[in-house]
Amino acid sequence: MMVTVALFGVLTLVALAPIAIALSAKPNATGFVYGACLIVTLILFLLALHSLLEHPAASTITLPLGLPWLGAHFKIDPLSAFFLVVVNLGAAAASLFALGYGRHEESPQRVLPFFPVYLAAMNLVVLADDAFSFLLSWELMSLSSWALVITDHRRAENRRAGYVYLLMASFGTLTLLLAFGLMAGGDGAYAFDAIRAAHPTIGTAALVLILALIGAGSKAGLVPLHAWLPLAHPAAPSHVSALMSGVMTKVAVYGFIRIAFDLLGTPQWWWSLVVLALGGVTAVMGVLYALMQRDLKRVLAYSTIENIGVIFASLGLALAFKAYAMDVAAALALTAALLHVFNHSLFKSLLFFGAGSVLTATGTRDMEQLGGLIHRMPQTAFVFLIGCTAISALPPLNGFVSEWLSFQAILLSPQLPSWGLKLMVPAVGALLALSAALAAACFVRAFGIVFLGRPRSSEAAAAQETDTNSLAAMYALAATCLIAGILPGIFIDALAPVVQALTGARMPVQTGAEWMSIVPIAESRSSYNGLLVFAFMVITGMATAFAIHRFASDKIRRGPAWGCGYPDASPLTQYSASSFAQPIRRVFGSLVFRAREIGTMPPPGSRAPATLTVQLRDLIWDFAYAPVANAVGLIAERLNYLQFLTIRSYLTLVFAALVILLMVLATWP
Amino acid sequence: MAVIYDFALQGAQMLLVLLMAPLLTGFVRKVKARLLSRKGPPLLQPYRDLLKLMRKDVVLADNASWLFRVIPYLVFATTWVAASLVPTFRSGLMFSWTADLIAIIAVLGSARFFLALAGMDAGTSFGGIGSSREVMIASLAEPAMLMIVFAIALIAGSTQLSTMAAFMNSAEVGLRVSLGLALIALVIVAVAENARIPVDNPATHLELTMVHEAMVLEYSGRHLALIELAASLKLLLYVSLIACLFAPWGISPAIIAPAALMIGAAAYVGKLGTLGFLLAVFETAIAKMRVFRVPEFLGAALMLALLATLLRFVSRGF
């Protein structure tokens, strides 16, 4: 029943595409398409929320589509219900934001038809219950988002982003195809139920895990498969960027969880070693890259990579606990991962919306051209600040809760018997702690440079506050961030059926705890109460303000800022985005990016300007991608002469190929 | 009745930290002055400074936004809340379970986040230099602090400060290598977090190597008073933390006996005095570092804390 309604919703979304094409010349097409998307995704969201909270029995349906002997299976179980909630909440927020933002679109006909299809495809991936529909939906998701990435195809960098994205997406789908092929075996038992029933050998399972990690990880942005992400996510229109970063990466995480926790059965302990290491490295690399960027949307895209690292690190921990049948600990780690999935989808969408509003207001994403926007866009600044606080894992907002749960899970891990994990887990813990601290630095920089200080360009000085619909979407997300931060128990309890289904255990019921605290294991061990922390901060802050204004002084005078005696300093003397990152670049960058600063000082008396050049190398690109690209180019060049042969040579080649294939077939065991 | 008593004790702790914080700052200043053969300001001078600042007008920079005016209250409130959650004279207070040690560190992180933003609001390069160095120092001090928490939590089996203090007070602890490493790391982090010598100098203004003072340069009047009070509270917090984890003697557990409370309070004042004196001696004996030697200093703390944690993972004996 549930799944039928959900598929109808998806069908409506798909049907919106031709309508959008027909309408796209009309002035109110934008409003119609995004309005319809908003309504449909809201219905889907409520439906998914109902399945998750009331958890009725899994609802399935088999349609006579796709492979003739298989049909198309769809299903809503707790895991897919949770991810449907994430997808449709993000989609609804993006549609609401786009009701305002989309009006500034230069060529709406390049966005409107693909947007609903993209939403439908993400829903379908989560709904699919057999490998064939899963891969088909996955590919649809990749292609529709690719079309959205090259919306602004006149800019060469966007075309390149689209090209790299397409390559990486095909590569990811290929590995997933192989993974599912291995799991389904020779008989083509592609239904997930059949895959679950089959027990792969240890070797096959390991191979499947690696392939799934590559396939899902490349979509999610795991280092070193992340190279496309910071190119593609910022290139799309901002509401699509929000969906790609906030939601699509989560669909990729869903793919990994589905394969590693559900389809493959009991994990081996060393799988977790790989996942943990990749997660930890991704978290730190992602945020270090983010700190070096000056394009606001690219900062956000790299920070997505960081958060995916955090999620995968928790998933790796959950795998480790599951391998040793420590179910309660596995439940804690998995809850941390899923809660972070939810949280990140909220604040990353919020931040991309904010970046979109800034882009509309000023026409630039370059942080060095912005500044002082808090005066001209006070509401956007306020919600963006909430997003920044949340993503920096600061209490009392939601990012901290999932981070805190991950740390609590790490503190349970000395009981793991394997030596590899005993050494790996504390190292990953340190990496997570480092990434959290660097994320705070990154978002002080992002908010401070863009919204605080004085405007660095005339566009920034003339910016206007964004429209009501965009603000409504951002306020809604910011409010959810706050609620999830101060009442996390409700959200943890909602995740219980998902965690129960995947690990066989769940965290203790939280909503009954005194004063709405969250207590992962026992109160004597650890507890956190976001509500009280928030209440204490607000009450003491307000009481202090009241007392001081009442009894001491409430007078204010304005005067120029202290400029060391040099009057009217230009806004260019402010700290810029790159100068703010300089200390961190100096501490971490010389190792990670081979950062070098080359300064030239003209001789005394010369009037030439002094210059400072900063060189950063993307070592992952240089050592992992460039050699592959060069090799492909070289081979293509060598094989080029095959295009200019005579007809006789071609016939000979065809004949030779035929003979070789026949020989292979004849000798095949 | 018991609830009211618990509530009163929690309130007493909040007031105690608030009233003791300027005294500790004044005490450290006084001892430092005496060590340099100066007479030094009277012990109560910080209170007078605060009262004077409170009564003065605020002079805001032309470009300062609403955020700049809200931040002092935010920073003060968060630091005060964090400081009153660390056990001082009695553990297991009414709200002690509100935030465990990880959360307390993160609450302090919130305060720093906002203070660093305030530094960038006026749009001068002084604020920028302070903020950017502050977050650089934090990016190493915070992970180091978390690893210290991990190491101690793995020994005590809890991140709840009351439980940790009770465990450290029991005979079960003994001398451990990992505890020693954690203590050294904690001292380094505390020095850096409180902008003390050799990382930063709390006594200078307008010097190019300064960090914290550059960040708050644009603040004046009551705003500055709140920021200074918050800085004192933070110093008190770290001293209380070291005392409660590594010298938990005298902290009375949840027993309602006035005598035990008096002993706890006296022991607390004694510990503050001792640690404050040691801090003053340490600061007088050492020279300030160049700013880019600070990462090495803090990196050492991070490595020590990581080593302590690793030891706990490898063997229960260390």
- Would the CB atoms of B135 and A444 count as touching at under 8 Å? yes
pLDDT band at A543 (very low <50, low <70, confident <90, very high): very high
Q: How far apart are CA B88 and CA B242, in angstroms?
A: 11
Number of domain units in chain A: 2
Shortest CB distance from B295 goes to which of A404, A537, A587?
A587
Q: How far apart are CA A465 and CA A376, in angstroms?
A: 6
Residue type, B144: A
Measured at the alpha carbon of residue A154, what is the angle toward residues A150 and A158, in degrees to the nearest 5?
40
The pLDDT assigned to B175 comes to: 80
- Would the CB atoms of B147 and A433 count as touching at under 8 Å? yes
- Would the CB atoms of A562 and B124 count as touching at under 8 Å? yes
Q: Which two tokens stand for residue B38?
A: 């100066």
Q: Residue B278: pLDDT above 90?
A: yes
- Closest to A352 in 3D by CA, of A292, A289, A301: A301
- Would the CB atoms of B222 and A552 count as touching at under 8 Å? yes
Q: Which residue has tokens 């020693």?
A: B180
Give, as one character, the DSSP assignment of residue B45: H
pTM: predicted TM-score of the whole model, two decimal places: 0.95
Q: Which two tokens stand for residue A211?
A: 């392939």
Residues A613 and A591 placed together within one structural domain of the fold: yes
CA distance A574 to chain B (A): 5
Task: Tell me, yes or no, if B311 comes closer than 8 A to chain A by beta carbon.
Answer: no
Q: How far apart are CA A470 and CA A101, in angstroms?
A: 6
Shortest CB distance from A540 goes to which of B80, B309, B314?
B80
CA distance A358 to chain B (A): 18
Q: How far apart are CA B316 and CA A47, in angstroms?
A: 49
Cβ atoms of A434 and B143 closer than 8 Å: yes
Closest chain B residue by Cα to residue A412 = B154
The pLDDT assigned to B139 comes to: 94
Q: In the A/B pair of chains, how many CB contacts fall below 8 A?
A: 273
Residues of B with Cβ-Cβ distance to A595 under 8 angstroms: none
pLDDT in tens, B111-164: 999 999 999 998 888 889 999 999 999 999 999 999 999 999 998 889 998 888
Q: Residue A294: pLDDT above 80?
A: yes
Q: Which of A106-115, B28-37, B246-255 has the lowest mean pLDDT?
A: B246-255
- Domain assignment present for residue A380? The answer is no
Measured at the alpha carbon of residue B21, what is the angle toward residues B271 and A394, in degrees to the nearest 5?
105
Q: How far apart are CA A343 and CA A326, in angstroms?
A: 26
Shortest CB distance from A574 goes to which of B58, B95, B124?
B124
- Closest to A228 in 3D by CA, of A247, A208, A246, A245: A245
Q: Report, in angstroms and rounded to the nearest whole number, the Rg of chain B calculated over CA atoms.
A: 19
Which of A412, A540, A542, A584 to mutate to probe the B interface, most B CBs <10 Å? A540
Task: Tell me, yes or no, if B139 comes closer than 8 A to chain A by beta carbon.
Answer: yes
Task: Name the residue range of residue A607's domain.
Answer: 587-617
A75 - beta bridge partners?
A60
Q: Residue B253: pLDDT above 80?
A: no
H-run or E-run covering A76: strand A72-76
Cβ atoms of A183 and A195 closer than 8 Å: yes
Q: How far apart are CA B196 and CA B238, in angstroms?
A: 12
pLDDT in tens, A556-594: 999 888 877 777 778 888 899 999 999 999 999 888 888
Which of A383, A407, A421 to mutate to probe the B interface, most B CBs <10 Å? A407
Chain centre distance of CA A386 = 18
The pLDDT assigned to B318 comes to: 67
Q: How far apart are CA B309 and CA B293, in angstroms?
A: 25
Mean pLDDT of B192-220: 81
Q: How far apart are CA B168 and CA B171, in angstroms?
A: 8
Which carries the bigger pLDDT value, residue A277 or residue A66?
A: A277
Residues A612 and A636 placed together within one structural domain of the fold: no
- Range list of H helices, A487-618: 488-503, 530-551, 577-584, 590-592
Q: How far apart are CA A125 and CA A172, in angstroms?
A: 15
Measured at the alpha carbon of residue A291, what is the angle toward residues A342 and A228, in degrees to the nearest 5?
65
Q: Which two tokens stand for residue A278?
A: 């990749």
- Would the CB atoms of B117 and A444 count as touching at under 8 Å? yes
- Would the CB atoms of A575 and B77 count as touching at under 8 Å? no
pLDDT band at B46 (very low <50, low <70, confident <90, very high): very high
Question: Which SS3 state, helix, strand or coil, does residue B90 take?
Answer: strand
CA distance B294 to chain A (A): 10
Residue A352's region, left for phi above 0, alpha for psi from -120 to 50, else beta, is alpha
Give, as one character, the DSSP assignment of residue A103: G
The pLDDT assigned to A198 comes to: 84
Task: Tell me, yes or no, if B219 comes closer than 8 A to chain A by beta carbon.
Answer: no
Task: Tell me, yes or no, if A583 comes closer than 8 A to chain B by beta carbon.
Answer: yes
Shortest CB distance from B62 goes to which of A427, A561, A573?
A561
Cβ atoms of A430 and B301 closer than 8 Å: no
Closest chain A residue by Cα to residue B206 = A564
Question: Which SS3 state, helix, strand or coil, does residue A517 take?
Answer: coil
Cβ atoms of A10 and A120 closer than 8 Å: yes
| Burial of B258 from C-beta contacts in 10 A (0-12 / 13-18 / 19+) | exposed
- Would the CB atoms of B60 and A524 count as touching at under 8 Å? no
Cβ atoms of A352 and A388 closer than 8 Å: no
The pLDDT assigned to B255 comes to: 62
Shortest CB distance from A580 goes to which of B122, B132, B147?
B132
Task: Tell me, yes or no, if B302 comes closer than 8 A to chain A by beta carbon.
Answer: yes
The pLDDT assigned to A29 comes to: 87
- Would the CB atoms of A414 and B57 count as touching at under 8 Å? no
Residues of A with Cβ-Cβ distance to B17 under 8 angstroms: none
pLDDT in tens, A325-350: 999 999 999 999 999 999 999 999 99
- Range list of H helices, A128-185: 131-149, 156-184
The pLDDT assigned to B201 comes to: 81
Question: Which SS3 state, helix, strand or coil, does residue A467 take?
Answer: coil
DSSP A188-244: T--BHHHHHHS---HHHHHHHHHHHHHHHHHHHT-TTS-TTHHHHHHHS-HHHHHII
- Would the CB atoms of B98 and A411 count as touching at under 8 Å? no
Which of B222, B296, B315 to mutate to probe the A interface, most A CBs <10 Å? B222
- Would the CB atoms of B150 and A426 count as touching at under 8 Å? yes
Task: Tell me, yes or no, if B41 comes closer than 8 A to chain A by beta carbon.
Answer: no
Residue type, A281: V
CA distance A311 to chain B (A): 18
- Would the CB atoms of A561 and B124 count as touching at under 8 Å? yes
Residues of A with Cβ-Cβ distance to B120 under 8 angstroms: 444, 448-449, 452-453, 575, 580
- Would the CB atoms of A556 and B125 count as touching at under 8 Å? no
Cβ atoms of B141 and B171 closer than 8 Å: no
* End-to-end Cα separation, chain A, in angstroms: 48
pLDDT in tens, B51-60: 999 999 999 9
Q: How far apart are CA B140 and CA A427, in angstroms?
A: 15
Question: Which SS3 state, helix, strand or coil, does residue A351 take?
Answer: helix
pLDDT band at A25 (very low <50, low <70, confident <90, very high): confident
Task: Tell me, yes or no, if B54 comes closer than 8 A to chain A by beta carbon.
Answer: yes
Give, as one character, the DSSP assignment of residue A366: B
Question: Which SS3 state, helix, strand or coil, does residue A330 take?
Answer: helix
pLDDT band at B98 (very low <50, low <70, confident <90, very high): confident
Q: How far apart are CA A397 and CA A487, in angstroms?
A: 10
Instruction: Give the rounded percent of residues in chain A with a pLDDT score beyond 70.
Output: 100
- Would the CB atoms of B218 and A562 count as touching at under 8 Å? yes
Q: How far apart are CA B104 and CA B98, in angstroms?
A: 9
Task: Tell me, yes or no, if A570 comes closer than 8 A to chain B by beta carbon.
Answer: no
- Would the CB atoms of B81 and A537 count as touching at under 8 Å? yes
- Would the CB atoms of B102 and A452 count as touching at under 8 Å? no
pLDDT band at A650 (very low <50, low <70, confident <90, very high): very high
Residues of A with Cβ-Cβ distance to B127 under 8 angstroms: 575
The pLDDT assigned to B209 comes to: 62
Q: Which two tokens stand for residue A109?
A: 């006909």
Residues of B with Cβ-Cβ distance to A560 under 8 angstroms: 61-62
Q: Which residue has tokens 């709904």?
A: A127
pLDDT band at B195 (very low <50, low <70, confident <90, very high): confident
- Domain assignment present for residue A659? The answer is yes
- Domain assignment present for residue A662? The answer is yes
- Domain assignment present for residue A606? The answer is yes
Task: Tell me, yes or no, if A547 comes closer than 8 A to chain B by beta carbon.
Answer: no
Task: Tell me, yes or no, if B152 comes closer than 8 A to chain A by beta carbon.
Answer: no
The pLDDT assigned to B110 comes to: 95
Q: How far apart are CA A302 and CA B24, in angstroms?
A: 43
The pLDDT assigned to A6 comes to: 93
Q: Residue A255: pLDDT above 70?
A: yes
The pLDDT assigned to B141 comes to: 95
Q: Which two tokens stand for residue A426?
A: 């504390």
Q: How far apart are CA A336 and CA A405, in angstroms?
A: 5
Task: Tell me, yes or no, if A254 comes closer than 8 A to chain B by beta carbon.
Answer: no
Q: Which two tokens stand for residue B306?
A: 């990581």
Mean pLDDT of A583-607: 89
pLDDT in tens, A62-87: 988 888 888 899 999 999 999 999 99
Q: What residue segments make up the domains of chain B, in order of their start?
A: 2-314
